[in-house]
Structures are given as structure tokens and as C-alpha cells.
Amino acid sequence: MKKNNKYRYPKTVREMIEGQRHYVINGKDKLPSVTTILSATQSAEKRESLQRWRERVGEEEATRIVDQSGARGTAMHKILEKYILEEGYLDETEVGKQAHNMALRVIEQGLCNVPEYFGTECTLYYPGLYAGQTDLVATHKGDMAIIDFKQTNKVKRREWIDDYFLQLGAYAMAHNFIYKTQITKGVVMMCSKDNFYQEFVVEGKEFQQYKFNFLRRVDEYYRARDAKTKQDS
């Protein structure tokens, strides 16, 4: 995979503000993360579904599953980042070994279609609104795209991962605004803990709709934040 240095991405600086992740841009602007916005504007139905799951499996087991998933995802991301950068990396923990096998599936079935990349673990921001970090900005099957790597405990259906598409839309809008690009494609490269690879592509009018839907969530986030600020003052 060839590196193209056309774009210069800012250094990643994160800060927690009132329990929410923010990115510090240019040493001064503190913008809420994409995931912070999506979490804060999550539908009541989704919150209730998650709570029912925690009650069904038990709080202790739910915490264990979430923690394991997080560790596995972090390890898989690290392995993929080092692969892209052509840097040696070895994690011999049990989680690391599992993540290594998952990363291999992503490499063999997903990254094989990525001949060129512009940046990995890129901090992207839309001035005054939001910021975040995408796993890869690259060329995918001839198109410039935002690519995110995801781990999962079980095989996913497309209709279950709307938030992933919203993230891709947010990153694409930020990249297009700052770097004057025209990214109209997002790709989720996903592998389950059982090493089953899935790839979800969103583009064209569907991608435009996700971008619009994310902006609605941004508006909802700031309206709720402003209302809380007024209430507290």
C-alpha cells in the first residue's frame, strides 16, 4: 500500500469535558467528538434496548463483554495501523492473538482493495461543530473513501449499523470542508471474533442522506447543550 502525502492532518489531542470526549484543534478550539454527539443524541428506543440487554445478561456479565470487546477492538486497530505503516508489531496476549487473526481477515479481504492511502488514524474536524478520528483515508476500488475498521461479537446486518454510516458521513464532510475534496464513499471493514469478515459500502445518495442525518444530530446536540447551560446559569 502506497502512502500519498497530499494532505496534512492535525495532531490528535483529546480532552474530557464534563465526561464527554472533545478534540483540541489548533491548540485552542475544543470540539465534541463524533461519537460523543451520537451517544448524547441516541434515541430512547436504542437506550432502552441496551438497558434491557444489560438486565438480561446481568450487569457483571455485560461489563465483561463490553470490556473484552473494547480490548479486542483496540488491539485489532493497533495491528492494522502498524501493518499500514509497515511497522513491526507483536501482541502475544490472548486478546492480541485473537485480534491478529481478525486483522488478517481485514487485510486479506478488505485492504487488498486499497492500493493507496492518505493517512491513518486521522484527526478530522468541521470548524465550530465537531471533530473525530477516522481509521483510514484512502483509495478504495478507485474511489477516495473514508474507511473505518470495526470488530464485532457476532455477524451484523446492515440495518443494525446506522451509527457507523453516520460516523463515516461526519468524517467525509469534515475532510471535504477542510481539504476541498469530494469524498462520496464510506467503507466499514468489519471482522467478528469468529473471524468472519464483512464489508459495508455506503455511497452516492445514500451517503448524502447519512451526512444530512448526522448534521441533524449535531443540531440536536447543541440545542440540548445550550438548554442545559441556560438551566444551570
pLDDT tens digits, residue range 36-91? 999 999 988 888 888 888 888 888 888 888 888 888 989 999 999 999 999 978 88
Nearest of 203, 200, 214, 216 to residue 166 by alpha carbon: 214
Confidence of residue 233 (pLDDT cuts 50, 70, 90): low
Strands 143-152 and 185-192, how do they pair?
parallel
Region class of 6: left (phi > 0), else alpha (psi between -120 and 50), else beta: alpha
* CB distance 99 to 76 below 8 Å: yes
Give the pLDDT confidence of 87-124 residue by residue, as tens digits: 978 888 888 899 999 999 999 999 999 999 999 999 99
The predicted model scores a pTM of: 0.92
Burial group, residue 94, by CB count within 10 angstroms (0-12, 13-18, 19+) = exposed
110-116, long-range: CB < 8 A, 24+ apart: 110/187, 110/189, 110/197, 110/199, 111/1, 111/80, 111/83, 111/84, 111/189, 113/140, 113/141, 114/1, 114/138, 114/139, 114/140, 114/147, 115/1, 115/2, 115/139, 116/1, 116/2, 116/3, 116/4
* CB distance 185 to 201 below 8 Å: yes
Strands 2-3 and 116-126, how do they pair?
parallel
The full set of domains in the chain, from first to last, is 2-232 (3.90.320)
Q: Which three cell numbers stand for residue 155?
A: 455477524
